Amino acid sequence: MSGGLLLQYVVVALAALASVLVVMHKRFPGTTRRLRIALALPLLREGRPAWMRAISRRLAPTSMATGKDCGGCDSCG
């Protein structure tokens, strides 16, 4: 397999992954939030390197301030 073909496959795979992530975020926000929490928590444990904790903080979802009329989509702020 030539280098150009391999690069093409990598670009197509990254585009497909980005598409899946956008659809998940739009259609299943609760599931996406739980998945982000499940991925971030193990990286925040004591004894982990600083770079791993920084990735975890970026990966973790922001806190939700929900009111009686709030669905938690965070489109208001």
Number of helices followed by number of strands (H, E) in the chain: 3, 0
The residue extents of the domains of the chain are 3-59
As averages over each run of 10 residues, the pLDDT of the chain (77 residues) reads 92 98 94 92 92 92 67 58
- CA–CA separation, 71 vs 40, rounded Å? 23
Among 20, 46, 45, smallest CA distance to 35 is for 20
The pLDDT, as a whole number, for residue 1 is 73
